[in-house]
Structure 1
Amino acid sequence: MNVLIDGSVLEGGGQILRNSVSLAALLGKHLTIEKIRNGRKPPGLKNQHRTGIELAAEIASARVTGATNGSCEIDFVPGRIAGGTYAADPVTAGAATLLLQISLPLLLFAPSSAPSTLTLKGGTNATSAPQIDYIQHVFLPFAARHFGLNVAVDVRKRGYFPKGGGEVHVTVSPGVDGAKLTSASVLERGAVTRIGGIAHIAGLPAHLGRTMAESATKRLAACGFGPDASVPVPVEIESKREKNEDTVGAGSGIVLWAELAGGGMIGGSAVGRKGADAITVGEEAANELIKGLEAGGAVDEWLEDQVVILMALAEGTSEIRCGKDGLTLHTKTAIWVAEQLTDAKFDITVEDSGHTVIRCKGIGYTAPGDVNK
């Protein structure tokens, strides 16, 4: 059956492309996407989108037409998914994390007990995608705890805009014997138990990284998050200057994360840029974390949309408490895509407290050919 996806719906960006291709590959569905990135200027595929499609096609032995830069329509006919060793490089500062986003679901269900490996190049820390440190310290720990993922990330080289050139090695352990993703229930936020972080810098003086970390720590303390607060919270923000041989070009950034007693995670981040000093960048990351905490959810707005595909694939009913600001457009888009391509059933409710709860009866996906399917 050919599934037609309108790439101009809701968020209208690359997320529709990535989630649609991943789900179509897993479910063996012939996929056509039209009006790709219709909400962007210019529309159509860029290097990183094309590279992501090519990576997914290699993993899923797919036939693809239309995967050229500027194309607004592709046709994707998946074959059999195979684990193994794969590499992808957009040859730009295109985000390595977005290459992981399209390929990770496939390798989670590769019909093999041996781990698969990905070598992903490009940008590791940019403003247009999750920083690699967010994936390492927020998304993956949450997904491991609640959905059963076993994924390790090793940042070999950092790549900053505009040169890119970063390199990330990812090891993905599939579910042995067709194991399904477990459903997640994260309805209680609980207290903040710890705040961690990393201020990273390359090709610039090391003191700038320390300044970012100190600035973020000071801002968090002013809002009641610190060891001397009325309710003490450990705050541990590492400052790390990369070796010159471990980066291409110069750049900086900071990623913070708050661990919650109820099993939730809230992140905040900022990337260094021209015209913003280290104090400002540190404060921006802290303000983003504080905003996420004040929203009162068990996940932040970025984690909220990234776990939708896992909820759809998991066995049983997952339920996630989100903040009081309502679902983001990215989250609504992820849910829409999942409903177009799977039989997962989503239910969105607003509690009396004002928090939004996403519930999803997942499809309990296992790889084709598994005896338990």
Structure 2
Amino acid sequence: MSKGLIEIDGSLLEGGGQILRIALTISAIKKIPIRVVKIRAGRGKPGLMEQHLKGIELVRDMCDAKLNGAQLGSTEIEFWPNKIRGGTYTSKIKTAGSITLLLQVAVPVALFADSAVLLNLTGGTNTEMAPQVDYYTEVFRPNMEKFGATFDFELKKRGYFPKGGGEVKVTIDPVPHLNPVTLTDRGKITDIYGWSYTSGSVPIRLAYLLAENAERLLKEYGHVAIQKYKEDPKVGFDNSSGIILVAETDNHCVLGSSGLFRKNAKVEEIGEEAAKKLIDTFKEGGCVDEHTQDQIVILMALAKGESKVRIGSVTLHTKTAIFVIELLLPQVKFEIISEGTTNIIKCRGCGT
């Protein structure tokens, strides 16, 4: 192993792209040189795919890093970060690779730049195997704001599988530090709302069908208001259909789920599946849902003070995030306390 590099085994735990994303984020913010080996070894096609490569290159540009081994199919990279600089950065995924996954790695890094960061990103906005970009803005962003940070978001075009081609602009102002949070009492659900959409040649009646099946299951938990619409052809020109659901509580918790139409699936199943995922979150009693919990631990680790967050079941992605963070930041330790159907994650952040 090269001198001064911390080596991370990408085959462990989740065994996919998340290990790489978490490692790059912490490496860039804390200026820790890393070597990641066995990248995506747990996947059917190991190594870097287009979206992973673009994520690495984006963070490289943001912190003027020295980078070795970053090419399609590579299973090993070395990354030496420097100072994170503000400015405008562009990343174009040629496939429908997820823009949301680019945001997951780049937004926390941008929070610690020396001036504002503008990201121009191209790729998939609403795709399988990643949260839809609407989830990132409507569910993750409110949770991020509890730590004292946010971002501005402009959707220019949507990109669906398999073509991609979506375009977004994201502006992030740096913060002096992240604030610790205590989210241990979810409270009562007060609002359930969302968006059900179609685009291209998909008829709008399918948006109504998606919403109706979600509303049918969710109505026992309170008033449900789901907007049904067909995307403007200038914004969403390819064929797609999906749904994003959000729930808020009287203690300001924000939870969510989503569904995306896929080949050979019945339209009514998509709305039902999204509703059931949200209901499962309700029943577990956590203050964040499964897709926010693994991202929020990054913010907890970087916050100035002790954070406590109640979650439901600890996902493999969360275990993976904690593993990578503790490996790179030995001064940061997480504690998970089981309480019935929930768990409380505790962490005293490093305050950077």
TM-score (norm 1): 0.91
Distance in 2, Cα, partners of 1:169 & 1:200: 21
Distance in 1, Cα, partners of 2:237 & 2:99: 14
- Residue 254 (structure 2) aligned to one of 245, 260, 265: 265
Aligned-partner SS, 1:246: coil
Could you list the per-position Cα deviations for residues 97-140 of structure 1 after superposition, in whole angstroms to 9, with x for gaps in the alignment?
A: 0011111111101112xx32111111111120111111011000
Aligned-partner SS, 2:344: strand
What pairs with 1:1-373 in structure 2 (closer than 5 Å)?
1-112=4-115, 115-144=116-145, 146-175=146-175, 179-203=176-200, 204-221=202-219, 224-225=220-221, 233-323=222-312, 326-342=313-329, 343-351=331-339, 353-365=340-352
Distance in 1, Cα, partners of 2:208 & 2:237: 21
Could you list the per-position Cα deviations for residues 178-232 of structure 1 after superposition, in whole angstroms to 9, with x for gaps in the alignment?
A: x2100010000110010111112211112211221222112212xx12xxxxxxx
Deviation at 1:259, TM superposition (A): 0.8
- Amino acid of the structure 2 residue aligned with 1:207: R
Could you list the per-position Cα deviations for residues 1-33 of structure 1 after superposition, in whole angstroms to 9, with x for gaps in the alignment?
A: 311111111111101101101111111111100
Gaps of 5+ in 1: 226-232, 366-373
Deviation at 1:234, TM superposition (A): 3.0
- Amino acid of the structure 1 residue aligned with 2:170: V
- Amino acid of the structure 1 residue aligned with 2:181: A
Correspondence for 1:229 = none
Residues 164, 248 of structure 1: 8 Å contact kept: no
Distance in 1, Cα, partners of 2:59 & 2:229: 33
Aligned-partner SS, 2:151: strand
Aligned-partner SS, 1:217: helix
Deviation at 1:248, TM superposition (A): 4.5
Deviation at 1:261, TM superposition (A): 2.0
Aligned-partner SS, 1:147: coil
- Amino acid of the structure 1 residue aligned with 2:196: A
Distance in 2, Cα, partners of 1:220 & 1:153: 29
Gaps of 5+ in 2: none
Distance in 2, Cα, partners of 1:193 & 1:169: 31
Deviation at 1:309, TM superposition (A): 0.6
Distance in 2, Cα, partners of 1:338 & 1:4: 13
Distance in 2, Cα, partners of 1:138 & 1:120: 20
Structure 1 moving runs of 4+ over 6 Å? none
Distance in 2, Cα, partners of 1:121 & 1:364: 32
Cα RMSD (Å) of the superposition?
A: 1.2
Residues 197, 204 of structure 2: 8 Å contact kept: no
Distance in 2, Cα, partners of 1:289 & 1:25: 34
Deviation at 1:65, TM superposition (A): 0.8
Residues 285, 341 of structure 2: 8 Å contact kept: no
Question: Percent same amino acid among aligned pairs?
Answer: 45
Distance in 2, Cα, partners of 1:275 & 1:220: 25
Deviation at 1:240, TM superposition (A): 2.4
Distance in 1, Cα, partners of 2:24 & 2:151: 21
- Amino acid of the structure 2 residue aligned with 1:274: K
Matched residue pairs, number? 347
Aligned-partner SS, 1:244: coil
Distance in 1, Cα, partners of 2:156 & 2:211: 22
Aligned-partner SS, 1:247: coil
